[in-house]
Amino acid sequence: MKKSNIVWTAFACLAMSVAAWPQTTTPSGTADILRHARAYQFQFRAGQYDAVPKFVAMMEEATKADPENADLSNAMGVAYLAKSAEAMLTGGKPADAWTAVQKGMHALERALELNPDHAEALATTAECRP
């Protein structure tokens, strides 16, 4: 087997395991939740739009359990922005997308209230404003 085939096979196996990982384990602790959130973002970007409701549900539960965590609030904002994009990319209702955008911006603003220097929340908020 050629070296390039081995590399591509390994990459494909890794990609499949990363795609399945958030669905097979229950996150515990902030760091684990944030790792799962990143995996859901990768799934969404790969066109797996069915990951978005799971992403949003996980982040709603996490932010409810720890409302004073800026990282979780930021991830919640990203989840809602993914939900708005998912609604529009799959032929959903614009009103649903707009509601998700508003919730996303609120979560990002909450992250910035908790930590005004939160780099990801600052960057995401700046990207969403005209």
Domain that holds residue 98: 3-128
Taking only the tens place, the pLDDT of each residue in 30-72 is: 999 999 999 999 999 999 999 999 999 999 999 999 999 999 9
Whether residue 3 has pLDDT greater than 80: no
pLDDT for residue 29:
87
The pLDDT score that the predictor gives to residue 128 is 81
Half-sphere exposure in the Cβ direction for 82 (13 Å, CA): 28
Question: Which among 21, 30, 76 has a CA at the least distance from the CA of 48?
Answer: 21
* Separation of alpha carbons 34 and 85, rounded Å: 20
Number of domains in the chain: 1
- 77-97 pLDDT, tens per residue? 999 999 999 998 898 899 999
Q: What is the CATH number of the domain that holds 96?
A: 1.25.40.10
